[in-house]
């Protein structure tokens, strides 16, 4: 695994969270994107090498809506950049981690992504992401 690529934060609405994070980080949101497969709208900020990804549910039954219902808004996942996602998934499987998918899926921001089950990572949802070529 390489650097922390981004930190995902679950929010109720981008309409209120984006202006707040623009003020907080003193930088404009540079991209918003809907990820249909995950039922989320995302908004991205660049802070040095790392990005902040705000996640808003597009569906009351979606994963982000259910997360907020259970835990409230806040830190949702940490994403690490990987050079070869399939290789890294194999390595982690071999180490006994549980991956949420068998194959990497297209994610926001032109990435292939996979998540690790938080039950086996001290409650932290970990995302692996690799730039799509």
Mark 89-106 as b/e (b = at least 16 C-beta within 10 Å): beebeeeeeebeeeebee
Q: Give the footprint of Zn ion on residues 88-127 (CB under 5 A).
A: 127
Q: Which is nearer to Zn ion, 54 or 79 (CB)?
A: 79
HEC string for 58-89: CCCCCHHHHHHHHHCCEEEEEEEECCCHHHHH
Q: Which is nearer to Zn ion, 12 or 50 (CB)?
A: 50
Q: Which of 7, 8, 17, 85 contacts Zn ion by CB under 5 A? A: 8
Q: Which is nearer to Zn ion, 22 or 33 (CB)?
A: 33
Q: How far is the CB of 5 from Zn ion (least distance, A)?
A: 8
C-alpha 35/C-alpha 101 separation (Å) is 16
Q: How far is the CB of 1 from Zn ion (least distance, A)?
A: 14
User: CB pairs under 8 A, 24+ apart, for 59-63?
Assistant: 62/38, 63/38, 63/39
Residue span 40-79 as binding mask against Zn ion, x where in contact by CB under 5 A, dash where not: -------------x-------------------------x
Stretch touching Zn ion by CB under 5 A, among 4-12, 17-25, 27-35, 85-93: 4-12
Footprint of Zn ion on this chain (CB under 5 A)?
8, 53, 79, 127
């Amino acid at each position: 695994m390489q650097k922390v690529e981004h930190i995902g934060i679950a929010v109720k609405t981008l309409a209120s969270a984006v202006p707040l994070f623009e003020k907080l980080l003193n930088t404009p949101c540079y991209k918003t994107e809907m990820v249909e497969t995950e039922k989320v709208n995302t908004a991205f900020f660049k802070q040095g090498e790392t990005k902040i990804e705000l996640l808003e549910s597009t569906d009351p039954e979606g994963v982000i809506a259910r997360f907020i219902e259970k835990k409230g808004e806040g830190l949702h996942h940490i994403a690490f950049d990987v050079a070869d996602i399939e290789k890294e998934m194999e390595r982690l499987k071999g180490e006994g981690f549980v991956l949420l998918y068998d194959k990497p899926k297209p994610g926001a921001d032109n990435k292939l992504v996979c998540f690790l089950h938080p039950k086996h990572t001290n409650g932290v949802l970990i995302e692996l992401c690799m730039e799509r070529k």
